[in-house]
Amino acid sequence: MDKTGKKQIIDELSDAFHQNKSVMVMSFSGLNVADVTELRRKITQSGSNYRVVKNTLALRAAEDTAVAKLAPHFAGPTAVVCTSGDPIALAKILTDFVKTHPALTFKGGVLEQSVLTPAQCQSLAEMPSKEVLLAKVLYLLNAPVARLAGALNSPLTKMAIALKQLEEQKAK
C-alpha cells in the first residue's frame, strides 16, 4: 500500500474515532468469511460500522482521541466497531454473536471517553436501552407529583362524599 492510501485510511479512522461515542476493539481470528459477512450485516443494520484495521495505522489514527488509551489492545488480528448511535444495541449484537461464534472476542472499548475492559463491553449488553432508561427516569420524576395530586385531591373527595351523605340524611 502506498503512502497516500495509508494516509487516507488513517484520516478515515481518525474521523471515525472522533465522531463516534462508542468504539470497541475485537479479535476475530478463526472466523470464516461467511461469519464475518453475517456480523458485518448485523452491525450495519444497527447503524454501526465494522472495519478490519492494520494495527499501526489504527494507532496513528487514534492519536489525540480516547481510543489511544486502547493502544495495548492493537495487537494481532484486530477489528474496530464504531457507533454514534446506541452503544447498548451494538453491544447486544456483538455479545449475541460472540455466544455463537467464540472465535470473536472483545479486546476492549471506549464509551464516551471511558475505557472499557472486555468484561465491561459484554456487561454493557445487559443494560436496558436508552429509551427504557429515560422512561424509568420520567416515571421516577412523575411519581412525587402524582402522589401530591392524590393527597391534595383526597380531602376534597372526602368532603364531597360527606356533603352527599348529609344531603341524603336531610332528604329522609
Does residue 152 sit in the same domain as residue 69? no
End-to-end CA distance of the chain: give it in Å, rounded: 102
pLDDT over 80 at 128, yes or no = no
Does residue 118 sit in the same domain as residue 149? no
Residue 63 has φ and ψ, to the nearest 5°, of -55, 140
Does residue 15 sit in the same domain as residue 82? yes
Does residue 48 sit in the same domain as residue 70? yes
> Which residue, among 142, 164, 163, 144, has the nearest Cα to 152 in the 3D structure?
144
Does residue 123 sit in the same domain as residue 141? no
pLDDT over 80 at 130, yes or no = no
pLDDT over 80 at 12, yes or no = yes
Does residue 74 sit in the same domain as residue 118? yes
- Per the structure block, which three cell numbers stand in for 128? 436496558
By residue range, what is the domain housing residue 146?
128-172
What domain count does the chain have?
A: 2
pLDDT over 80 at 57, yes or no = yes
Counting residues of the chain whose pLDDT is more than 70, the rounded percentage is 100
Q: What is the mean pLDDT of residues 155-172?
A: 80
Does residue 17 sit in the same domain as residue 33? yes
